[in-house]
Structure 1
Amino acid sequence: MSRPPVRIVVIGDKGTGKSSLIVAAATEEFPEKTPPVIPPARLPPDLFPDKEAMLVVDTSSRPEDRKTLEEEILKAEAILLTYACDNQSSFDRLHAWWLPELRRLHVSVPIILVGCKSDLRNDSQPGPDQMLQPIMHEHREIDSCMECSAQKIHGVMDVFHQAEKSVLHPIGPLFDQRKLCLKPACVHALKRIFRLCDTDRDDVLDDIELNNFQMKCFDAPLQPAELEGVKSVVFDKMPAGVSDRGLNLAGFLYLHALFIEKARQETTWTVLRTFGYGNDLRLRDELLENPSFKRAPDQSVELTPVAMEFLKQMFLLHDDDGDNALNRDELEELFSTSPANPWASDPRYTDSAEVNVPMGALTMDGFLAQWAMMTLLDPRAALAHLIYLTYPQDPATAFVVTDRRRGDRKRKQTKRNVFQCFVFGAEKAGKSALLDRLLGKQFEAGHVRTASDRYATNVVECENVGEEGGKGTKVLVMREIPDDRAKKVLEDVNEMAACDVAAFVYDTSSRTSSHRALELLEKLAEHGEATWNEVPAILVANKDDLDPDSVAIGATAKVCLDMGLANPIPISLKLGDTANVFQQIIEVAMKPHLSIPITEKGKVHKRYKHMCTQAVYATAVGMTVLAAGYIVYRVYTSRKQQ
């Protein structure tokens, strides 16, 4: 589908030649007279190499037309800011008024300075370079500077071609003109493309790989002389960028910087777009639609064994020091083909995975668990970054959508490998300490209030895994819910649909803490009965090293008995006694038909439903018997009459 015409807005002082420039482009003739403002002119696509139509909008600089001028500026895809080469005051006005005004309007589209009437330039005037370098240095938003003559029809089409190119192939996302180097996002994208083209993984593009790259992007091979010419260009300026085996990454990046410096950024954009990038240097949306991840609220997305094995290999490839952990630099290098580390800016991933002590590097289990958690919470982001990491197969092979939890309850088993546990409880019950323990952290005295939801994830060794019931691993994602948010979460159908098991933590020495846990447990049971989204539950009796409150012990034991739950799991995080609580949480999640809390009201409803079912069954059996008897009677009567 073709895009709308590229919208170019021409602005500048009166008399600088705006209207004449537009008419000369549209008619290839110089107009002797033009109105103050001409109507928008459409330039056909066959005038330009990119074959895109252009709509050129003229403007007035009169004070009374200021509002219209601002509206047109804000609708522009690129701006031609004109001055007259024979009028120094019009040039001075660029710095004094026009460019500050564009900054005030927060203009972010390409701005091209156009010196009109170049044929009238006086030899005594400063040269273009002498005039333009200072203003270009101060106003980095200027994309480029050009001169032309509408009267001589000289350079006119070049101006509009440059304007269109600045829109279709913008230099801004690619190149830092202040530092004269590729921008980081561009480097990340080109590095990924290099790795995809380096099929033998030897960190060099040999002649065959370079030709395959050329064919993929430009549908034309490079002749042997052209290949040698490319390598020679790199060798002249960057000897380290090429070897007798071919072009390395540094040389590949240098070539693209050279293209851009020579105003051939369309070459780099062709490469980027061929490999799926949009103008923001991120993968285009259509590449992230397979798989679609359509699912019910009680379904989740997991990585397949194939994807997990790929991630293991990526981990090992970037573990340069061989300590089975990724430090900050190694992790940065691993994500160097992504726009950014997906875990760096999202608070959900802050301190959420296991690291080694004291170096603080991400362990293999922490790395894989973090990926599993990202897939669970944001599968589209996981898909994008798996592609950025050069996952070699069809992305659909990397993900699986789990069965609905409702179906798992009927089958009395689940095939899930990643479980999300919501952790509820009063303040100071030990929720944060429980999450820390999952990450292998040592207990720290003192209480720090958790203001927002916090996540922790790790790989957990479990018994009775798989069809043969042997040992295996599952990923546990724990989400701590601050107590002031607990009621809202428990009443939210969509949020609770993502919960595989709810853990209620309380301080065994505090009657208030245990009461709060039971209160929240009651709400969970009511939620399940009201929505048919029944969630297994488990109680965790923390601070078992303190003197227990006898009333709390009795109350929790009675509630567990009444609701059909196992007794609370006694632990002491301070003493490091966890009683295999994480394995027990996963065991509860793996049997989704059990450990479902039920209230007295729920029991009555269940009995009533059971009675109704039995009555319907009995009625159906009775009707069947009557029908059979009637048929036998009719047969008997018929035979007797014969």
Structure 2
Amino acid sequence: MVLLGPSSAGGRKSVRIAVAGDGGTGKSTLIAAMASESFPESVPPVLPPNHFPANLYPDSVPLTLIDTPSSLANQGMRNEELKRADVVVLTYACDEPASFERVSSYWIPALRRLKVKAPVILVGCKLDLRDENQLLSLESYTTHIMQRFTEIVTCVECSAATLYQVPEVFYFAQKAVLYPVDPLFDYKRHALTDRCVRALRRIFVLCDHDMDGALNDEELNEFQVKCFITTLQPSEIAKVKSIVEQKVPDGVSSLGLTFPGFIYVHNMFLKKGRTEAFWAVLRKFGYDNDLKLRDDFLPVPSKQASDQSVELTAEAIEFLNGIFRLLDSDKDRSLRPAEVDKLFDTAPENPWNNAPYKDGAEKTDRGYISRNGFLSQWALMTLVDPPHSLANLIYIGYKGNPAAALRVTRRKSVDRKKQTTERNVFQCYVFGSRHAGKSALLYSLLGRPFSNNYTPTTVEQYAANVVECKGVSRKILVLREIPEDGFAEFLSNQDCLASCDVAAFVYDSSDEYSWNKSTELLDKVVRQGERTGYRVPCLLISAKDDLTPFPRAVLDSVKVTQELGIEAPIHVSMKLGDSSYVYKKIVNAAEHPHLSIPETEIARKKKQHHQLLHHSLIFALVGVAMAVVGLTARARAVKKVRKIL
């Protein structure tokens, strides 16, 4: 027995089915028989598209059947149709064994060369013409080919002459699109996919209201009503548990249906061909065909301008603090990798295993993530990809209003005018030449020891951590390293500085090239900001202060900073340690967005010109006003004299 009920088509508005196969296998006749509900005496070589209404099948999704040419002369047209298809119906003739062999020798390899990702329905036509002496069951024909080619999801035989299983062919084709098997089942392992198991684990946890590790009868009924809008009788529940217990001994406990039992029930959906029931469950809990939460389940607040950012709200941070305390079972104020993996076992995957989050947070000497690192990692994910952050909050059990988990910050242009900011997360772009010490600056923020080994940075990388300022203020600083080789591409984006709170230019104090490169990059960033309006505080960081400085760098740095109107370079040596004040300087610059903003000579003259025009306009207006007052007074005096006379 399985849980029964109505299913969901996942919101698709149409399904496009391309029918392909060798000439003479019956593909055009199959389409014509479907369209006319009769066997056609003759059909043209290629039929025009056939459209079928939404009420053809229970899922109420309209179909379009596309006949494809078999001739080499029209191969280009056929290939384009195959690429556009949602599903491919691939035909062979039941009375011609050679056409079946062509499926594996020609057609499937051809689809793979075209990178067609659509599922394939293998259809044997002309069943009524097959020689009974060569009769083999469909299962023996197809088991091997389905194991070899996982894109084939269903095999069916039909006859256009007798109309046997003709409608079923296109029903299975539609079903393969609306309720795909690939995301659910791994054919190589013959088991549910890892992502599918993770989704079911989250659903199980959400349904296990008393959190006892099993679904009791009441919880099972709530699950049934939520997914299928129907209840289960006590006898039906007992039968389900009895079947599960026979197949999976640990699938049922004294408390109810356990997670292994829950998995088995869904495996039964697949074995019985009830993929629509499986997807009804997944879609009711918000999953799309990639087994990720749909956009309509993620109310991410919208930024109205590019210079706004997205942060976690106090409510979300409080939830994450509680999660950290819950996972930190040994109370060592850090999380082991296994504990982090456990946190995300109800998510599609651990998001922190991939760039840009991998190695982007503070860890202890044993490689455990600290509380600061944990919160900083979430802040980084929210800053870089708000929908991904919100989705993962929901995956790990956030039960508050999703719309209240994230907030959009005020525009930076407004912050500059108000000379203050309400942001709690600051992003600092780190520029500089190779060997300047940019990566060391990032690693030091994460508490990593200095290393003399140099590894060139080829892609942008991030580092995020909590920075304490003035003993009470705790801000999260995100450093984003821009490789020297990627600077030109970075600057080609007009909005490249929109999300930057502070720009830091690192140079090796002992190297002339490094100094010259940092000032060159500084000049380009300043001009970019003046062109686009995204003007940001800038800092020069003199790294490797333990080495003998390049003589001109000291004098030139004073001249450059004075000309631009910014602070003198910050001297630091990551090798000698104690670099925390550098990060406090960066945060301080971000907290005062109206200061440390450099100006070029051209911008300064332009500003002075505008100020002069402004003052001139004021003087002119004052003069006009005084003249008007004078004329009014004179008019009154003349009027008074005339009255006396």
What range describes the TM-score normalised by the shorter chain of this pair? 0.7 to 0.9
Listed one character per residue, the Cα deviations across residues 603-624 of structure 1 (whole Å, up to 9, x for unaligned) are 4444443333333333333434
Letter in 2 for 1:399: L
> Hey, what does 2:5 align to over in structure 1?
none
Matched, 1:442 2:455: no
Cα 1:7–1:531 shift into 2, 3 Å = closer
SS in 2 for 1:506: strand
Matched, 1:422 2:429: yes
C-alpha displacement of 1:202? 4.0
Matched, 1:461 2:468: yes
Letter in 2 for 1:51: S
Q: How does 1:325-344 map to 2 (within 5 A)?
A: 325-344=334-353
> Hey, what does 2:184 align to over in structure 1?
174
Matched, 1:537 2:546: no
SS in 1 for 2:88: strand
SS in 2 for 1:234: helix
Query: Does the CA-based 8 Å contact 2:495-2:532 persist in structure 1?
Result: no
C-alpha displacement of 1:471? 0.7
C-alpha displacement of 1:28? 4.6
> Hey, what does 2:3 align to over in structure 1?
none
> Hey, what does 2:396 align to over in structure 1?
389
Query: Does the CA-based 8 Å contact 1:570-1:579 persist in structure 2?
Result: no
Query: Does the CA-based 8 Å contact 2:124-2:157 persist in structure 1?
Result: yes
Matched, 1:597 2:598: yes
- Once residues 116 and 611 of structure 2 are traced to their aligned partners in structure 1, the CA distance between those partners, rounded to angstroms, is 69
- Once residues 512 and 45 of structure 2 are traced to their aligned partners in structure 1, the CA distance between those partners, rounded to angstroms, is 84
C-alpha displacement of 1:600? 4.4
Letter in 2 for 1:144: T
SS in 1 for 2:352: coil
> Hey, what does 1:355 align to over in structure 2?
363
Query: Does the CA-based 8 Å contact 1:571-1:578 persist in structure 2?
Result: yes
C-alpha displacement of 1:59? 5.4
Query: Does the CA-based 8 Å contact 1:191-1:249 persist in structure 2?
Result: yes
C-alpha displacement of 1:400? 1.8
- Once residues 624 and 246 of structure 1 are traced to their aligned partners in structure 2, the CA distance between those partners, rounded to angstroms, is 88
- Once residues 400 and 99 of structure 1 are traced to their aligned partners in structure 2, the CA distance between those partners, rounded to angstroms, is 49
> Hey, what does 2:499 align to over in structure 1?
498
Matched, 1:476 2:477: yes
C-alpha displacement of 1:421? 1.3
C-alpha displacement of 1:439? 0.7
Instruction: Tell me which of 256, 265, 270 is aligned to 2:275.
Output: 265
> Hey, what does 2:588 align to over in structure 1?
587
SS in 2 for 1:494: coil
Q: How does 1:41-120 map to 2 (within 5 A)?
A: 41-58=50-67, 61=70, 69-118=78-127
Letter in 1 for 2:509: T
SS in 1 for 2:132: coil
Query: Does the CA-based 8 Å contact 2:301-2:406 persist in structure 1?
Result: no
Letter in 2 for 1:240: D
C-alpha displacement of 1:372? 1.4
Cα 1:121–1:191 shift into 2, 3 Å = farther
Query: Does the CA-based 8 Å contact 2:305-2:411 persist in structure 1?
Result: yes
Query: Does the CA-based 8 Å contact 2:409-2:423 persist in structure 1?
Result: yes
> Hey, what does 2:324 align to over in structure 1?
315
Structure 1 residues not aligned, in runs of 5+: 464-469
- Once residues 562 and 10 of structure 1 are traced to their aligned partners in structure 2, the CA distance between those partners, rounded to angstroms, is 71
- Once residues 511 and 554 of structure 1 are traced to their aligned partners in structure 2, the CA distance between those partners, rounded to angstroms, is 12
Cα 1:615–1:270 shift into 2, 3 Å = same
Q: Percent identity?
A: 46
Instruction: Tell me which of 289, 297, 316 is aligned to 2:306.
Output: 297
Matched, 1:403 2:413: no
- Once residues 581 and 148 of structure 1 are traced to their aligned partners in structure 2, the CA distance between those partners, rounded to angstroms, is 75
C-alpha displacement of 1:328? 3.1
Listed one character per residue, the Cα deviations across residues 63-99 of structure 1 (whole Å, up to 9, x for unaligned) are 6665555455444433333445455444444445444
Cα 1:340–1:632 shift into 2, 3 Å = farther
C-alpha displacement of 1:475? 0.8
- Once residues 160 and 519 of structure 1 are traced to their aligned partners in structure 2, the CA distance between those partners, rounded to angstroms, is 64
Listed one character per residue, the Cα deviations across residues 428-456 of structure 1 (whole Å, up to 9, x for unaligned) are 33222111110101111243332333321
C-alpha displacement of 1:244? 3.1
> Hey, what does 2:155 align to over in structure 1?
145
Higher mean displacement: 629-638 or 299-308: 629-638
Matched, 1:277 2:287: yes
> Hey, what does 2:4 align to over in structure 1?
none
> Hey, what does 1:466 align to over in structure 2?
none
Cα 1:617–1:197 shift into 2, 3 Å = farther
SS in 1 for 2:153: strand
Cα 1:567–1:167 shift into 2, 3 Å = closer
Structure 2 residues not aligned, in runs of 5+: 1-9
> Hey, what does 2:251 align to over in structure 1?
241
Matched, 1:125 2:119: no
Cα 1:138–1:595 shift into 2, 3 Å = closer
SS in 2 for 1:615: helix
TM-score, normalised by the number of residues in structure 1: 0.87
Query: Does the CA-based 8 Å contact 2:18-2:68 persist in structure 1?
Result: yes
C-alpha displacement of 1:266? 0.3
- Once residues 491 and 13 of structure 1 are traced to their aligned partners in structure 2, the CA distance between those partners, rounded to angstroms, is 50
Cα 1:441–1:26 shift into 2, 3 Å = same
Listed one character per residue, the Cα deviations across residues 260-312 of structure 1 (whole Å, up to 9, x for unaligned) are 11100001112222233222323334444x33523323222211111222223
Query: Does the CA-based 8 Å contact 2:301-2:408 persist in structure 1?
Result: no
SS in 1 for 2:540: strand
Cα 1:55–1:605 shift into 2, 3 Å = closer
Listed one character per residue, the Cα deviations across residues 437-485 of structure 1 (whole Å, up to 9, x for unaligned) are 101011112433323333211111111xxxxxx6121011112233345
> Hey, what does 1:560 align to over in structure 2?
561
Cα 1:19–1:600 shift into 2, 3 Å = closer
SS in 1 for 2:472: strand
Matched, 1:373 2:358: no
Listed one character per residue, the Cα deviations across residues 180-235 of structure 1 (whole Å, up to 9, x for unaligned) are 21112222332333333334444433333333332232222333333333333322
SS in 2 for 1:294: coil
Higher mean displacement: 315-324 or 247-256: 315-324
Query: Does the CA-based 8 Å contact 1:491-1:527 persist in structure 2?
Result: no
Letter in 2 for 1:430: G
TM-score, normalised by the number of residues in structure 2: 0.87
- Once residues 428 and 6 of structure 1 are traced to their aligned partners in structure 2, the CA distance between those partners, rounded to angstroms, is 55
> Hey, what does 1:467 align to over in structure 2?
none
Letter in 2 for 1:427: R
> Hey, what does 1:183 align to over in structure 2?
193
Query: Does the CA-based 8 Å contact 2:501-2:536 persist in structure 1?
Result: yes
SS in 1 for 2:473: strand
Letter in 1 for 2:233: Q
**RCO (CA 8 Å, sep 6+): is it higher in 1 or 2?**
2
- Once residues 527 and 39 of structure 1 are traced to their aligned partners in structure 2, the CA distance between those partners, rounded to angstroms, is 55
Query: Does the CA-based 8 Å contact 2:15-2:177 persist in structure 1?
Result: yes
Higher mean displacement: 101-110 or 213-222: 101-110
Listed one character per residue, the Cα deviations across residues 15-36 of structure 1 (whole Å, up to 9, x for unaligned) are 6554554455445545566666
Query: Does the CA-based 8 Å contact 2:497-2:529 persist in structure 1?
Result: no
- Once residues 570 and 224 of structure 2 are traced to their aligned partners in structure 1, the CA distance between those partners, rounded to angstroms, is 63
Letter in 2 for 1:333: K
Letter in 2 for 1:299: Q
Letter in 2 for 1:356: T
C-alpha displacement of 1:161? 2.1
Query: Does the CA-based 8 Å contact 1:487-1:520 persist in structure 2?
Result: no
- Once residues 163 and 605 of structure 1 are traced to their aligned partners in structure 2, the CA distance between those partners, rounded to angstroms, is 67
Cα 1:239–1:511 shift into 2, 3 Å = same
RMSD: 3.3
